Amino acid sequence: MTPSLLYAFAGAGLCGIGMFGFIQLRHLLRKLLAFNLIGSGTFLVLVGLAQHGQGPDAVPQALVLTGIVVSIAATALAIVLIRRYFHLSGHTSLEADDSDSGQGGAE
């Protein structure tokens, strides 16, 4: 097992942990952290797998850079939405009040 392959396996492990948390956790911020964990795992897989034994490959590094920008944008949007949702409803999870009208009429 080469070190780069070790990175790839660690990335796959992180993805698994993140996926578990994403589905299992109810608190929205924890869900978001789990999403970021999946993201980091994916980036590790992307960089680790692509070594092919002939030294570092520039393309996956560029891809990961773009991927990080995308995931920061997604995280920022999610935080804004979660914050506003918390201010309006006082809940930190989506399931807390499924009992009310659910998708009731708009404002």
Partner 1 sequence: MITAWLMAGLLFTPLAWAVLCLLLDFSRGRLVSCLGITVQVLVSLGLWVAVAREGGFLYGLGGWEAPLGIELRVDGLAVTFILLTAIVAGACGLHASVYLAPDNAWYRYFWPLFWFLWAGLNGVWLGGDLFNLYVGLELLSLSAVGLVALGGGINALRASLRYLLAALLGSMAYLLGVALMYGQFGTLSIAGIASLLPETQALVGPGMAMALMLSGLALKTALFPLHGWLPPAHGIAKSPVSALLSALVVKASFYIAARLWLEFGHELGSTAVAQLIGGLGGAAVIWGSWLACRQSQLKQVVAYSSVAQIGYLFLLFPLTFAVSDTASLQAQQGMTLQVVSHALAKAAMFLAAGNLILATGSHQVAGLAGVSHFLPFSLFSFGLAGVSLMGMPPSGGFAAKWMLLQASLASGQWWWIVVLVAGSLLSAAYVFRIYQASFVAKTGVDDFYHPPGSLEVIPLLLALMSLGLALVAEPLLSVMALSLETGGAP
The angle, 0 to 180 degrees and rounded to 10, between the axes of the packed helices 58-89 and 28-49 is 180
Among 25, 63, 72, 99, binds partner 1 (CB under 8 A): 63
Neighbours of 93 (CB within 10 A): 14
Q: In terms of Cα–Cα distance, which of 23, 24, 31, 40 is closest to 85?
A: 31
1 near partner 1 (CB under 8 A):
no
Q: Are 10 and 44 in contact (CB under 8 A)?
A: yes
Nearest approach, Cβ of 50 to partner 1 (angstroms)?
5
> Residue 53 — left, alpha, or beta (φ > 0 → left; ψ -120 to 50 → alpha)?
left
9 near partner 1 (CB under 8 A):
no
40 near partner 1 (CB under 8 A):
no
81 near partner 1 (CB under 8 A):
yes
**Chain positions contacting partner 1, by CB under 8 A:** 8, 15, 22, 28, 31, 35, 38-39, 41-42, 45-46, 49-50, 52, 57-60, 62-63, 66-67, 70, 73-74, 77-78, 81-82, 84-85, 88-89, 94, 101-107
